[in-house]
Each structure stands twice: as C-alpha cells, then as structure tokens.
Amino acid sequence: MNKLSQRITAGLQHQRQQGRWRQQVARTSGHGRLLSHSNGTTLINFASNDYLGLANDAIVRQAFVKAADQYGVGSGGSALITGYHQLHQHLCEQLADITGMQRVMLFGSGFAANQGVITALMKSGDLLIQDKLNHASLIDAGLHCRADSVRYRHNDLTSAEQQLQRQAEAKLLVTESVFSMDGDQAPLNELAQRSQRHEAMFMVDDAHGLGVIGDQGLGATSIEPNIDVYMATFGKALGVGGAMIAGDKDIIEYLTQFCRHYVYTTAMPPAMAAAASAALNRLTNEPELVATLKHRIGLFKKLAQQANLPLLPSNTAIQPVLLPGNDTVVSTAEYMRQRGFAVGAIRAPTVKAGQERLRLTISASHTERDIENCVATLNEEMGRMQEHIE
C-alpha cells in the first residue's frame, strides 16, 4: 500500500473509533415538514435549514420549472463568458433593493462565496479577524488566504477590539450574524462601530439570518446598515441553493475582476435564480411567513424551558439542546428518529468536545402540534436518561 492509501485507511479507522463517523441517508420525498426515506420511515423534519418551508413551496417550484422550461437547466458557462442570464441580473437587483447594498453578485454556494471573497480581498501583510465560532468556509478561507488570520473569543467585543488594534496593511473583520451551531446572534452594531473605528472592513455571513432575523426577516442589513461585505446563502430560509455577495459597486466590481471562485466556475443555473427570486417575493410580500416562524420559535422555547431542557440562549430558528458526549447525542437522535422526529446530532469535532448537542431547527412549516410533540418526546427521553444516571 502506498503512503497515501495508508493515510486514507488510518483516517477512516480513526474517524470510526472516535465515534465521528458521518453518514448520508438518501431521502425519497421532497423537502418540507415531512421527510421520507427509502427504508419506509417518514419523519417530522426538525433537522433542515428550510426555515420558512420554501424548499418545496408550490410558487417557488413553479418559478423554477417555468424558467427551466424556458431557458434550460444549465447556465452553460462561467458568468463572465456566457453564464450570466437576465434572471441572474434580476435577482441581483432584487437583492440589492432588499439589502440596501449598491451591488450584488451570485455564487454557486455560500462556501465558495466565503472562500472566494476572502482569498480575493486579503493580501500578504493584511489581517483577517474572525469570531472563533465562524463557519468552516470562513475559517478555511483564513487558512488559504495570504493574510495573517486571527480569531477572537466568541461574540466577545473586548477580544475583538484587541485584535482590531493590531497593526496591519489592511484589516477585515468577519462574523456570522446567526451562529450555525449555537443559534445565537452577533452584536452587529458594536462590531460595525469597532471595525470602523479601527479602519477595518466589516463582513457579515448572514446564511442563517436572511429570512429569520430583523423585524420582517430581512436579515443582518436590516439590523446594521454599515456592513461592507455581506454574504447570504439561498439554500437555507430561501429553500433553493446558491449564494450572494453584496457590497458597494467598487467591491463587487473588484470581485468580478479578481475573485477566482467567481471567474473560473460555472454560473448557477438561471432557473435557480428564478426560484430564489420567487422565494424572496414570498418573504417580502407575505410577512405572515416570518411571523409564523417567529411564533413557532417562541413556542418551542417556552415549552423546552418549561421542560427544563438544556437549551442555549438562542432566539433564532436554530435551537441546540446540549447533550455532552458523541455517543449520547447520537443515541438520543436515534431515539427521536424511532419516534418520528428528524433532529441533527452535532458531535465533536464540529463543536468542542463536551459541547455536543442536538441541533433542532424550527420552521414556519411546523404545526404547533409538531412542536409540542417534539418537546414532549425529547423530555421523555431526557427524563429516562436522568433516571438511568441517578
């Protein structure tokens, strides 16, 4: 066996031994409140990022199908050659309007957008400053770019300020608006002020915020207008896929010229842009969607608090229930599955050891009954586990 094959075998073995084995199970249904799998199970879906229930929404689907019928299924090239379609342009204009940013560009995924922007903007001698709990796409961008990359303690303004005080050619501070594993929110106003004071650009990843936070669910820019670089994905509350970067016209022009993850990749299919546009229309024209989500989140929290479930302080659609230990979290998720609920089991090293958790995500597509039953089932199992310990 050559060295690389040996490393692969050892890596797989280690992953299994550590209880970190990741598995993908194909579903056989569309997305939404219910998920069906090929083994015949149908589960109530508390594990997806489809916060507004738009992934299988009739209007969004119709927009996708109509555009595919009219323009085909692929974009046929990179945006700067032949890939850019008027449906992309329309989506960019709509997003600029909603976010209040001057210009918008589209990416195939949020992962690519984060990597692309940071590696294009950051040069040797620069300083990239990130929250410790930022998403892997941001942390890895820090490793791949030429700048010095530092992290501050999670949501800690003093720690962020200490990093901002460091000398560098140019500085970029990056935070998520809603943290993907904890569901808590960044202090956007204070981070924007401090970035400005220390002449740093301020970038926000609003993957879990757009469609959820702000009065009308319009995301981070409705809470803090002074964001220099704004990223949001369309694969979560908008239910589609793909992502955007927004900024002033020079930043977006610069990225259009120099961002390798934009220049050297196939543009997202125009039908996806049409579907994202339709999802945005639903978000902006039907405030009851976001109101329903907020109500369901409130109900979940109230019931979970009454049941003394170990929640983290989150007011967003991401509601973690702490259950330390990879085995414990996996077996509890399995218990929930057997009783009809899909919930995420988040293990170390995705989160720090000892911080393992179930990650429940609340959606506007849940009924009140779904939420009541889910909390009651979880409470039953936690009670049983407690008895076992005592």
Out of 233, 314, 361, 365, point to the residue binding ligand PMP (CB under 6 A): 233
Q: Is 381 among the catalytic positions?
A: no
User: Residue for token digits 């960019």?
Assistant: 92
365 contacts 50 by C-beta, under 8 angstroms = yes
Supply the minimum distance, in Å, between the C-beta of residue 220 and ligand PMP: 12
Of residues 242 and 270, the one with the C-beta less far from ligand PMP: 242
Q: Which stretch binds ligand PMP (CB under 6 A): 85-93, 108-116, 212-220, 315-323?
A: 108-116
Half-sphere exposure of 28 (CA within 13 A, CB side): 7
Task: Let me know the angle formed at the C-alpha of 222 by 217 and 227, rounded to the nearest 5 degrees.
Answer: 130
DSSP state of 367: -
Q: Is 90 among the catalytic positions?
A: no
Distance of CA 355 to the CA centre of its chain: 19
Q: Interhelix angle for 368-389 vs 326-338, to 10°?
A: 130
Out of 53, 110, 270, 320, point to the residue binding ligand PMP (CB under 6 A): 110
Q: Is 75 among the catalytic positions?
A: no
Give the H or E element holding residue 158: helix 157-164
Q: Is residue 119 involved in binding ligand PMP (CB under 6 A)?
A: no
Q: Which stretch binds ligand PMP (CB under 6 A): 97-105, 107-115, 250-258, 370-378?
A: 107-115
Q: Is 205 among the catalytic positions?
A: yes
User: Residue for token digits 């409140």?
Assistant: 33
Supply the minimum distance, in Å, between the C-beta of residue 241 and ligand PMP: 7
Q: Is residue 205 involved in binding ligand PMP (CB under 6 A)?
A: yes
Q: Which residue is catalytic, options 45, 49, 75, 177? A: 49
Supply the minimum distance, in Å, between the C-beta of residue 272 and ligand PMP: 12
Out of 235, 239, 320, 344, point to the residue binding ligand PMP (CB under 6 A): 235
DSSP state of 152: E
Q: Is 176 among the catalytic positions?
A: yes
Assigned token pair, 160: 């962020």
Q: CA-based Rg of the chain, rounded to a whole angstrom?
A: 21
Q: Which amino acid is at 78?
A: S
Q: Measured between alpha carbons, how far is residue 215 from residues 184, 239, 289 in Å?
A: 16, 20, 12
Out of 48, 99, 109, 363, point to the residue binding ligand PMP (CB under 6 A): 109
Task: Let me know the angle formed at the C-alpha of 380 by 375 and 382, rounded to the nearest 5 degrees.
Answer: 90
Supply the minimum distance, in Å, between the C-beta of residue 233 and ligand PMP: 4
Supply the minimum distance, in Å, between the C-beta of residue 157 and ligand PMP: 20
Task: Let me know the angle formed at the C-alpha of 146 by 136 and 162, rounded to the nearest 5 degrees.
Answer: 70
Q: Which amino acid is at 298?
A: G
Residue 324 backbone dihedrals phi, psi, to 5 degrees:
-55, 140
Interface of this chain with ligand PMP, residues 126 to 165, rule: CB under 6 A: 135, 137
Of residues 107 and 335, the one with the C-beta less far from ligand PMP: 107
Q: Which stretch binds ligand PMP (CB under 6 A): 51-59, 94-102, 105-113, 119-127?
A: 105-113
Q: Is residue 176 involved in binding ligand PMP (CB under 6 A)?
A: yes
Which residues are catalytically annotated?
49, 135, 176, 180, 205, 208, 236
Kindly list the residues in this chain that would bind ligand PMP in the complex (CB under 6 A).
109-111, 114, 135, 137, 176, 180, 205, 207-208, 233, 235, 243
